[in-house]
Each structure stands twice: as C-alpha cells, then as structure tokens.
Amino acid sequence: MIIQTSTCDFLIEDSGRVNGCISVFSDSLEEIHRLFGSSELEISDRSGWRYKVCTCKQDLANALILMVKEINYLDFHSSKFQPA
C-alpha cells in the first residue's frame, strides 16, 4: 500500500521476517522518524525508497491516526467531488 502525504510518500508491506511486523519505507528521513521514531531506522536498498522501519501494526495504526488528524480540510473543495 502506498500512502502519499503533502510532504512524502510511504510504502507499507508485510516484512516477511517477523510475524506481526510490517515494513514501512519512505523517501523522507524526517517524516519516517517523526511518525515511527520509536522503531529502528534502516537505510533501504529498495529502489526509490531510501529509508525503512520495521514496526508493529499498532504503531502503524497510531501513525495513520496522526496523519488523519493533520489533514487540513480547508484544502478540500466540494467542486472536486462533483460528477463531470
């Protein structure tokens, strides 16, 4: 799953290593550290994704909640959602 924010992109997938652990990749050191600072940061060898953390689903859920809380709903315009 890819999540795009105004400041960076995140790729979230099963780590394949530890049961219940997921891998989160990002192109932004600041944002991955801000949202997953309690997890150990790694340099990723995956093309297009410089940084990686392995974290639990609960930490991902907490980060997603924080992302939703930070949405500026004033940036949404009803005209964007009108059928063409």
Question: pTM value?
Answer: 0.80
d(CA 12, CA 69): 19
3-state secondary structure of 23: strand
Dmax of the chain from CA atoms? 46
Q: Per-residue pLDDT tens for 34-72?
A: 999 888 899 999 999 999 999 999 999 999 999 999 888
Contact between residue 28 and residue 41 where contact means Cβ atoms under 8 Å apart: no
Amino acid letter, residue 38: S
Query: Does residue 78 have a pLDDT over 70?
Result: no
Domain parsing of the chain, residue ranges: 2-68
Query: Does residue 32 have a pLDDT over 70?
Result: yes
